[in-house]
Amino acid sequence: MDDIQKTFPKAKVLNGERVRFEVAGGNYRLVAAFHFPAQATYIKFVGTHADYDRIDSLTVSLF
């Protein structure tokens, strides 16, 4: 997670596997889950800032 934070300083680490990214100047949010042993990233949510306020970012799984 340190490397993600260094590469994307505006990203917010939510827990040991999930990170929230701001997209398009903060108008959109993207929640991604990382599975480091498999070197895989799973997109869990993409939506507007208002949509993000209505979800639980730690459990959402839209994709």
pLDDT of the chain, 63 residues: tens digit per residue: 999 999 999 999 999 999 999 999 989 999 999 999 999 999 999 999 999 999 999 999 998
Residue with the two structure tokens 């730690």:
58
The rounded distance, in Å, linking the Cα atoms of 38 and 49 is: 30
What's the confidence (pLDDT) of residue 26?
87
| pTM score of the predicted model | 0.91
The rounded distance, in Å, linking the Cα atoms of 43 and 31 is: 6
What's the confidence (pLDDT) of residue 8?
94
What's the confidence (pLDDT) of residue 41?
97
